Chains A and B, each alone.
Chain A
Amino acid sequence: MTVIQRPQDKLRTPKPLKKPARFTPPWPLNLYQTAIGKKWVMGLTGLGLVGFVVAHMIGNLHLYEGQLEVAEYAHSLRTIGAGLVPETAVLWVLRLGLISMFGLHIHSAITLSAMNRAANSRYQAPRDFAAANFASRTTRITGIIIALFVVWHLADLTWGFTGGFMGWRGDGFNHGDPLWNVDNSMSNVVIAIWYMIATTAVAVHLFHGIRSAFISIGLSSPKFNPLIKPLAAGIAGLVLVGNLSFPIMVMTGALEADEPLDVHELIATEFKEAAE
């Protein structure tokens, strides 16, 4: 893009903040070079991740069914489409989709933030914001909390690295036994509080993110707008209540596992029967 300048403007139009791109990839990749294209990516990946967060929260509710049932649910996730493709193949396709959505979401956030920092010049007196709310002003902070939390959460409840973490955690990690692991992790007050902070950060992030995504991908109209805020608040609230309940229930002792399950044994026997 070249800036048109009338001769008398030569001195007046400020220098562009952005240099023209040296190399333009073919469509549609060139969209990602522009801020609005990045916002589309951010909005679409964001909505995809919202879908994941909601599905994850609903899946978590299996914890309330009992130790055996939630282990069976976990097993069935790992073996989606097991009759047709190798075990965990479908799961890995889903996981790769999730990882790339996370990656793109974070990358576009970082590059857009850098652009905004360059375009900004700080006011010397305090600002009086009218429309920007707590959620919208803190998306970057809640985003960083969520990114850290995701790493922790995988280490804690997927990989089990935190099994003997500084002696904080109870009786170690039992692969494929969610209730046992959740109970052991969240019986520690510090870990439970960290889960609650992160869950709150997710909800706050979603509240602004969902509303924002609709504008970024051009879904906004006088008729549709009054629905967007309640929708965002509803989804954020649902995720918040659902996910906060787990650390709270573990601490009150309502969610408890007495014995680790012998998951290998179960896969060979009961889960197989259930599948058939």
Chain B
Amino acid sequence: MEETLNITLKVWRQDGPDERGRFETYDAPNIGTDMSFLEMLDVVNENLNEDGNEPIAFESDCREGICGTCDLMIDGKAHGPEKGTATCQLHMRKYSDGDTIVIEPFRAASFPILKDLAVNRSALDAIVMAGGFISVNTGAAPDANLIPVPKEASDQAFDAAACIGCGACVAACPNSAAQLFTSAKIQHMNLLPQGQAERWKRTEAMVETMEMFFGSCTNHGECHDACPKEIPLDLIAWTNRDYIKSKNKNRKLAGQKG
């Protein structure tokens, strides 16, 4: 027979963006150990609904760790205690009977709370829109392997491209810096031949958009620890290097314009 747990939740409730929030305590009885964290919240919400109460607002989509929507600060840790997983991949077997779990939304000045545990992370989109793309003319698909890519570069670019844009790095950072996210989004292109044409424009634009919304990195490494994709900290260093170069290169390129 499946084991069941009785859990107490302390959940941040906030009715709207400008309302005052508070913690509320809920009981979550008979939680199966095979449930995911989000399924547990679903059960709690069903109970709330049945009693005619407002369910807890939280975000989720894929529930398989690839979309980056499910953002919860669980017991003071972004995405909860399990390393290298998103909230949806956290399972209740991690907990034991009688545990109290505190759930807060991701917090940063540029992550305004919409309701309860749901926050607005559009500032991350603004960073990507500033330069997180390559411009290609569409047409027939090019032959595979037409452009040779060194193995190391492709490995590192893949590591960077694993970022699902969840924003846990910002939430975990004591300075609310978005350097890990921005660096991942810059470097997965800067490392590849296809990303070279816009490399310096991209780096400057994305970094400066990031600085408009987020804090500055003091190299604690909390982001890497919270990241469900374990994006390496090296990317931050490489972005720091590319940014300084970009300021010089873009200045020279601007000088060449007639």
Is there an interface contact between A38 and B216, defined as CB atoms closer than 8 Å?
Answer: yes
Instruction: Give chain B residues whose Cβ lies under 8 Å from the Cβ of A12.
Output: 120, 122
What is the total of A-B residue contacts with beta carbons within 8 Å? 186
Is there an interface contact between A215 and B130, defined as CB atoms closer than 8 Å?
Answer: no
Instruction: Give chain B residues whose Cβ lies under 8 Å from the Cβ of A118.
Output: 109, 215
CB < 8 Å neighbour of B243 from A14, A28, A36, A129: A36
Which listed segment binds A: B34-42, B61-69, B88-96, B201-209?
B201-209
Is there an interface contact between B110 and A17, defined as CB atoms closer than 8 Å?
Answer: yes
Decide: A115 near B218, CB < 8 A? Known: A1-B205, A128-B75: no
- Cβ of B151 under 8 Å from chain A: no
Q: Given the complex of chains A and B, what is the CA–CA distance between A6 and B25 in angstroms?
A: 40
- Bin chain A's interface residue count: 35 or more
CB < 8 Å neighbour of A126 from B76, B122, B205, B234: B76
- Bin chain B's interface residue count: 35 or more
- Cβ of B224 under 8 Å from chain A: yes
Instruction: Give chain A residues whose Cβ lies under 8 Å from the Cβ of B125.
Output: 9, 13
Is there an interface contact between B247 and A127, defined as CB atoms closer than 8 Å?
Answer: no
**CB closest residue in chain A, given B124:** A13
Instruction: Give chain B residues whose Cβ lies under 8 Å from the Cβ of A6.
Output: 129
Say how far A110's CB is from chain B's closest CB, in angstroms.
12
Is there an interface contact between A131 and B109, defined as CB atoms closer than 8 Å?
Answer: no
Could you write out 27 A-B pairs with CB less than 8 Å apart? A1-B208, A5-B126, A9-B125, A12-B122, A13-B122, A14-B110, A14-B112, A16-B213, A18-B211, A27-B248, A35-B216, A36-B240, A37-B243, A112-B216, A115-B211, A118-B215, A119-B177, A119-B213, A123-B107, A125-B10, A125-B75, A131-B220, A136-B218, A137-B174, A211-B219, A215-B240, A220-B238
Interface residues of A (CB under 8 A from B): 1, 3-6, 9, 12-14, 16-18, 27-28, 30-31, 34-40, 112, 115-116, 118-132, 136-137, 139, 208, 211-212, 214-222, 225
Interface residues of B (CB under 8 A from A): 10, 12, 21, 23, 73, 75-77, 81, 102, 104, 107-112, 120, 122-123, 125-126, 129-130, 174-177, 205, 207-209, 211-222, 224-226, 232-234, 236-244, 247-248, 251
